[in-house]
Amino acid sequence: MNQNTLILLAILALLLPFLGFVLLIFWGRKRLPRQGDVIETGLVLGSLVLSFIIFFNKILYFPNPIEWKFEWVNFGFVENWGEMKITLGILIDNLSATMLVVVTVVSSLVHIFSIGYMKDDVRYSRYFAYLGFFTFSMLGIVLTNNFFTMYVFWELVGVSSYLLIGHWYEKKSASDAAKKAFIVNRVGDFGFFVGIMIIWASLKTFNFGEVFAGIEQGKLSGGLLTAAGILVFCGAIGKSAQFPLHVWLPDAMEGPTPVSALIHAATMVAAGVYLTARTYAMMSADALTFIAYIGAVTAFIAATIAITQTDIKRVLAYSTISQLGYMTMALGSGAYVAGFFHLVTHAAFKAGLFLGSGSVIHAMHHALHKIHDHHTDPQDIRNMGGLKKKMPITYYTFLIYTLAISGIPLTSGFLSKDSILAGAFAFGKLSGHTAIPLIGFFVAGLTAFYMFRLLILTFHGEPKRKDIFEHIHESPKVMVVPLIILAVLSLWFIFGPNPFDASATWVEKYIHKPESVVPHEQQFEFNLPKEGVLVTEYEHALHEAHIPAMLLSLGMAGLGILFAFLTYQWGKISAEKVANALKPVYTFLKNKWYFDELYQNTFVLATLGISKFARWFDIKVIDGIVDGSAHLTKLWSFSVGKFDWNIIDGLVNLLAYITGFFGYITRLLQNGKVQTYIIYVVFAVIVLFYIFLG
């Protein structure tokens, strides 16, 4: 198999889901069998097979990246620029090949799961069409070789996310959530686009490789380079729901649960991390520090909120945000491979957690339906409990995912999380930013705590609502099988033979941290190669940090789990009492740090206020002037008319009147009587005589 074949296969893998979208959107509801769900699922499975072929071929036979370019737009020769053209294309390296597999695996499983979960939905075929469109756009992000198409697909996944969150748009909360997701993402994309503008203006290309080469030649450096890096990362802040733009993701849970699994847990939200990994080489030390802090703060905020939530999906949503923060923090602190590794492992176990919760919600929903209860929230964990007995497969798979996310040995999560913490540890030690590892370890404990809280409240103990519990059943095979597959994918042996050694995994073997192209003075001192020393200071510290980090993280996780059991399983600690004792803190966390209220009262209200002002300004001021000048003109013309009528015509009339007056007077003389005329004549003759003869 040669390079061109691989490229061809990649294009095919990209387009198959899109084909499904086109078929289903036009003919899905009426013409296609089963509304086309099988067709769409089959096409995605096709993509999955192709992805595996590409993946294995790439890592086994092609050590170098495979790139294919084509000229999309050509502006010809441009003054002060040269040949201006935009080339697009596809890049297959180990990073994208791995990501390709991750996306298609999760997407395929979600497709299959949805066949059961979305059965009898009002817009069944539309749902599958959108899933196809999403998969297409997501694969576009993975395969692109340039910033331009990255941005294009970036927005396209945003649209599919918008459409799927708003799938049940009859509900106001769903359409609100969809709108919010898109607009908040747009804010991040705005920054991303400004970053792209800087890159285009200074390097005259969008292509990743050419951009990095240009930076290496010093065409973009200093503050502008850092700005470009941070701005590009803004895209990731939006899409990966990082602080301060994380507010959309919890609301996005209004979408169908399999969508939450695919888009809002495993793949799309991880795109931000992927983007950061893609552009990693151009991140300066300042940009990386910024990224690390954003990640750490996000991980911390989200984890604290997750503790207090009672909606099963919201807990998972905040845990997703927190884990994404983890990955971002890893990348920022230099643990590139660990961050990406966590993306991969997280995709499996978080998709599993969501599908598992979907299985629970599905069961709850049916039970509520049976007892004609339309008011109880099927997602509220306070109505659950004891489901373990009724839904054993869901429970045991859920347990594996929970262990994985908590970072317990024998799971994939242990391997990746451990590396992240080791990286943070080394980074904190060398750079002096000790807050990063501190937060990292603390969040590890929090994560274990709230995840086990969720597990215990949902599956352990006595059922809180007996009436519902009686009607709970395990989900059908089409839903359970994906759960089992994902559970297997959450175990260590998928990644490497040794459950305690992350460096033995294939991810560590095939994914390599890219060489930074940033000028040396803008890099961390400890990342630079030194004369006569084989490894950098950072790598050395990383190696040393490995064992302490592992023990510490295990300890934290163990503590978290212990507290969870003490509180929710054995009842040794009363959650209410703790909440009451820390009332202000609890309220603050319960209300998600009041971010929504803050944004609502500042940005949203301000924008609406200004827009109202603009309308007012248009109607009152501008149109006031326009209409006012029209009135003035009219007034003026009226007064001119009056002047015309009264003065000029008045004068004319006066003249006429005077003439008439004299006419009247003279008319009086001419009364038509001959006698009078004779008298005039006689009188005149007398006068004349008097004049001439006198």
Residue carrying structure tokens 């069961």: 363
- Is 152 near other proteins (CB under 8 A)? yes
- Is 238 near other proteins (CB under 8 A)? no
Euclidean distance between the first and the last CA atom of the chain, given in angstroms as a whole number: 148
**Contacting other proteins within 73-92 (CB under 8 A):** 73-81, 84
Cα–Cα distance, 287 to 285 (Å, whole number): 5
Cis peptide leading into 256, omega within 30 of 0? no
- Is 623 near other proteins (CB under 8 A)? yes
- Is 183 near other proteins (CB under 8 A)? yes
CA neighbor of 181 nearest in space, from 268, 68, 91, 81: 268
- Is 610 near other proteins (CB under 8 A)? yes
Q: Which of 40, 155, 418, 508 binds other proteins (CB under 8 A)?
A: 155
- Is 187 near other proteins (CB under 8 A)? yes
Helical ranges in 530-622 per DSSP H: 537-564, 575-581, 583-590, 595-599, 605-616
Q: What token pair was written down for 301?
A: 């905020």
Cα–Cα distance, 356 to 260 (Å, whole number): 12
Query: Taking the complex as a whole, how short is the minimal distance between the CB of residue 614 and other proteins, in angstroms?
Result: 4
Closer to other proteins by CB, 79 or 531: give it. Answer: 79
CA 624 to mean position of chain CA atoms: 42
Cα–Cα distance, 669 to 680 (Å, whole number): 9
Cα–Cα distance, 474 to 388 (Å, whole number): 10
- Is 618 near other proteins (CB under 8 A)? yes
Query: Taking the complex as a whole, how short is the minimal distance between the CB of residue 224 and other proteins, in angstroms?
Result: 10
Q: What token pair was written down for 322?
A: 């927190």
Closer to other proteins by CB, 249 or 307: give it. Answer: 249
CA 89 to mean position of chain CA atoms: 24
- Is 233 near other proteins (CB under 8 A)? no
Distances (CA, A) of 202 to 247, 286, 288: 34, 20, 21
CA neighbor of 318 nearest in space, from 249, 382, 379, 261: 249
Cα–Cα distance, 295 to 324 (Å, whole number): 7
Closer to other proteins by CB, 190 or 593: give it. Answer: 190
Judged by CB under 8 A, the stretch of 35-43, 106-114, 170-178, 525-533 that binds other proteins is 170-178
Closer to other proteins by CB, 186 or 590: give it. Answer: 186
Cα–Cα distance, 98 to 11 (Å, whole number): 16
- Per DSSP, the three-state class of 514 is coil
Q: Which of 3, 87, 175, 569 binds other proteins (CB under 8 A)?
A: 175
Q: Which of 217, 611, 653, 659 binds other proteins (CB under 8 A)?
A: 611
- Is 605 near other proteins (CB under 8 A)? no
- Is 349 near other proteins (CB under 8 A)? no
- Is 635 near other proteins (CB under 8 A)? no
**Contacting other proteins within 201-230 (CB under 8 A):** 201
Q: Which of 117, 128, 182, 450 binds other proteins (CB under 8 A)?
A: 182
Query: Taking the complex as a whole, how short is the minimal distance between the CB of residue 201 and other proteins, in angstroms?
Result: 5
Closer to other proteins by CB, 566 or 619: give it. Answer: 619
- Is 370 near other proteins (CB under 8 A)? no
Closer to other proteins by CB, 81 or 692: give it. Answer: 81
Cα–Cα distance, 249 to 238 (Å, whole number): 10
- Is 608 near other proteins (CB under 8 A)? yes
Cis peptide leading into 244, omega within 30 of 0? yes
Q: What token pair was written down for 544?
A: 């040393």
- Is 156 near other proteins (CB under 8 A)? yes
Cα–Cα distance, 572 to 250 (Å, whole number): 31
Q: Which of 30, 172, 374, 375 binds other proteins (CB under 8 A)?
A: 172
Q: Which of 614, 635, 640, 685 binds other proteins (CB under 8 A)?
A: 614
- Is 615 near other proteins (CB under 8 A)? yes
Cα–Cα distance, 125 to 118 (Å, whole number): 10
Judged by CB under 8 A, the stretch of 7-15, 88-96, 168-176, 376-384 that binds other proteins is 168-176
- Is 598 near other proteins (CB under 8 A)? no
Closer to other proteins by CB, 101 or 275: give it. Answer: 275
Query: Taking the complex as a whole, how short is the minimal distance between the CB of residue 45 and other proteins, in angstroms?
Result: 25
Count the site residues for other proteins by CB under 8 A: 52
Q: Which of 17, 116, 132, 166 binds other proteins (CB under 8 A)?
A: 166
Closer to other proteins by CB, 171 or 572: give it. Answer: 171
Which residues, in sequence order, are CB contacts of 304 under 8 Å at separation 6+? 446, 589, 593
Q: Where are the beta strands (DSSP E) in 429-575?
A: none
Query: Taking the complex as a whole, how short is the minimal distance between the CB of residue 328 and other proteins, in angstroms?
Result: 23
Query: Taking the complex as a whole, how short is the minimal distance between the CB of residue 418 and other proteins, in angstroms?
Result: 39
Residue carrying structure tokens 């331009």: 148
Element (H, E) at 86: strand 82-92
Distances (CA, A) of 396 to 143, 333, 446, 568: 35, 35, 22, 19
Closer to other proteins by CB, 272 or 295: give it. Answer: 272
Q: Which of 169, 396, 588, 593 binds other proteins (CB under 8 A)?
A: 169
Closer to other proteins by CB, 194 or 213: give it. Answer: 194
Centre a 10 Å sphere on the Cβ of residue 643 and count the other Cβ atoms it contains.
Answer: 12
Q: Where are the beta strands (DSSP E) in 10-157?
A: 66-78, 82-92
CA neighbor of 318 nearest in space, from 212, 420, 241: 241
Residues in the chain: 694
Query: Taking the complex as a whole, how short is the minimal distance between the CB of residue 233 and other proteins, in angstroms?
Result: 16
Closer to other proteins by CB, 187 or 559: give it. Answer: 187
Judged by CB under 8 A, the stretch of 1-9, 96-104, 174-182, 521-529 that binds other proteins is 174-182
CA 179 to mean position of chain CA atoms: 11
The residues binding other proteins (CB under 8 A) are: 25, 72-81, 84, 151-156, 159, 162, 166, 169-170, 172, 174-176, 178-179, 182-183, 186-187, 190, 193-194, 197-198, 200-201, 607-608, 610-612, 614-615, 618, 622-623, 626, 630
